[in-house]
């Protein structure tokens, strides 16, 4: 199972307990955000590196 799918499953499960324990959504939500941010930064670095080769 892919890590993102696992994090989505954990976040979806925590959604059912949001009224009793709102902190259960905190760590999976932060993890998903950091993974997305990491891929975004990786894409920016690759774009910049490939753009330098063209010039």
Element (H, E) at 8: helix 3-15
Is 18 within a domain?
yes
pLDDT at 54: 66
Is 12 within a domain?
yes
Residue 43: pLDDT band (50, 70, 90) is very high
Question: Alpha-carbon distance 17 to 55, whole Å?
Answer: 54
How many domains are there within the chain?
A: 1
Element (H, E) at 17: none
Is 53 within a domain?
no
Is 36 within a domain?
no
Is 10 within a domain?
yes
Question: Alpha-carbon distance 43 to 49, whole Å?
Answer: 10
pLDDT, greater one: 52 or 38: 38
Is 70 exceeded by the pLDDT of residue 48? yes
Is 37 within a domain?
no
pTM: predicted TM-score of the whole model, two decimal places: 0.61
Is 41 within a domain?
no
Q: Name the residue range of residue 4's domain.
A: 1-29
Is 54 within a domain?
no
């Amino acid at each position: 199972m892919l890590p993102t799918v696992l994090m989505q499953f954990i976040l979806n499960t925590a959604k059912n307990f949001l009224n009793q324990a709102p902190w259960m959504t905190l760590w999976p939500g932060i993890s998903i955000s950091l993974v997305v941010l990491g891929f975004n930064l990786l894409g920016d670095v690759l774009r910049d590196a490939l753009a330098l080769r063209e010039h």
